[in-house]
Amino acid sequence: MNRIAVHQSIVHPFDPVGLVRLAERAGIDSVGLHVATTPEVETWWVKGIGAAMLRDLVAALLAARVTVLDVGRVRLGPELRVWDGQHAYARALELGVRLGAQFVTARADAGVADDPAELFAVLDELAGRYRLRPLLAVVAGTPAATPAAAAAIVEGTHGGIVLDVSPSTDSPAAVAETVVELGELLGYVRVPAHELGAATAPGLLATLPPQVPVVIGEPPTAATEPAHPAGPGIPIPSGEPAGTGTPAASGDAAGSARPGPSTPSGDPAGSHDPTEATEQAEAEILARLTAWRAAVDELLRHPAASDR
């Protein structure tokens, strides 16, 4: 049975603890986390393994029995050749192993003159020390612009690639052919959340091997990954606690991981209580996650199964 995960980017600005709680309630097995090279998460993870968020998140994962599928992301740059424990890539690796992640994701940016295959091989060796498998994302306008180009970069390593599948444009036959061509280089399949609607055709991923996870997320763009691809309509009041708030509040203690009874100013809760707005936002994204989870089940179900 394919493991199903949800990426943090589609529930932003909920923090990792809030993401785990939402995943558990939606019946989703795993989560994917940004821990480096993404400005929105720097406040949570800038201290690396010394971050208070790590302690709170491990406790939440254990309580919910949710696992971490991947952490990201690492930039394929010349800095990988000389180990620097203060660099973002080191943070991703150190947090990844402590969170029990299976993968660490990487990008080959267009502005790097070095050979991406050589740099990925360096990352592969580093990731192996942390029992992580590196996966290269396919991003338009970069050396890994297509699955074939990405596969050529990671060939000969223990790594693999992230395969983006579009329910609106890809066919079951095309997906099956690509999966066969990639073979063991296929790390996981990512489907865009905004395409998981009522018109999702069953069986698009029916031929996917059971050991290959399916991630609900959004494919990265050449410039940057979307900060809020789930769309508008999930307003989070500023100053909310770490469990359901924005990065600005991530320094709070573990006890503030759930909404409190006061407003950001410390006044007693009233008609303007941000907790109520947060709970409404959480209910909205939970409904979306539950629907997306059901849509992925349809993608994985063989069309013949519905006739039985």
How many angstroms separate the CA atoms of 267 and 303, rounded?
A: 56
Q: What is the pLDDT of residues 74-100, one digit of tens each?
A: 999 999 999 998 899 999 999 999 999
Locus of tokens 């991703």: 92
Tell me which residue range forms the domain holding 264.
Answer: 4-307
- Could you tell me what percent of the chain has a pLDDT over 90? 67
How many domains does the structure of the chain reveal?
A: 1
Which residue in 10, 140, 141, 17 sits closest to 68, CA to CA? 17
Q: What is the pLDDT of residues 260-297, one digit of tens each?
A: 333 333 444 444 455 666 788 889 999 999 999 999 99
How many angstroms separate the CA atoms of 107 and 144, rounded?
A: 8
User: Residue 207, SS3?
Assistant: coil
How many angstroms separate the CA atoms of 215 and 307, rounded?
A: 27
Q: What is the pLDDT of residues 42-56, one digit of tens each?
A: 899 999 999 999 999
Which residue in 31, 60, 33 sits closest to 45, CA to CA? 33
DSSP character string of 144-175: T-SHHHHHHHHTTSS-EEEEE--TTT--HHHH
Residue 197, domain CATH? 3.20.20.150
